[in-house]
Amino acid sequence: MIKHVNGDILLSKAHAIAHGVAPNDPFAKGLAHALREQWPAMYKDFRHYCHTAHPKTGEVWSWGGAGDVRLVALFTQEDGGDHGGKPGRASVAHVNHALRALAREVRKQGYTSLALPRLATGVGGLDWNDVAPLIEQHLGDLGIPVIVYSGYHAGVAADEGLAATAAA
């Protein structure tokens, strides 16, 4: 089930939050920056992962923190370089591969709900009309609530329809 909401994804009650990035992304803008600010250990672990694993676009990286926080980075954008250069643009092909990998990760990890923004449409530069059908195709049949944050409203908890006891 895919539900579109407006609010602050950082206040999500979903089991996991997914977001788009580039390999070696500096997390300097948008949701990635907010995640870096809220969970600095996640960003440190992300940088270490990128330096050791050299991820490619279309892949995913999962992180778990204190309090059962689960974040999934989807590599939807071209690499910005080893020294945190400006991330490249996203592509529909990269988003397609990353969403396919995300669906596998959700099943493997047993996530009970998932929240994500309008993936790759901010810094990534894609048109939502190109991305939305891919989300439906890859995440629509997971059998869990998938909450798409269509509009950002700082500090406003969205009505996700999830139990307040869920993590993240």
Domain ranges of the chain: 2-152
Tell me the CATH class for 2-152: alpha beta
pLDDT, one tens digit for every residue, the chain (168 residues)? 899 999 999 999 999 999 999 999 999 988 999 999 999 999 999 999 999 999 999 999 999 988 888 999 999 998 866 555 677 789 999 999 999 999 999 999 999 999 999 999 988 899 999 999 999 999 999 999 999 999 889 899 999 998 654 444
Number of Cβ atoms within 10 Å of the Cβ of 4: 13
Predicted TM-score (pTM) of the model is 0.91
Instruction: Report how far apart, in Å, the C-alpha atoms of 34 and of each of 28, 160, 163 are.
Output: 9, 20, 24
For residue 137, what is the enclosing H or E element? helix 128-139
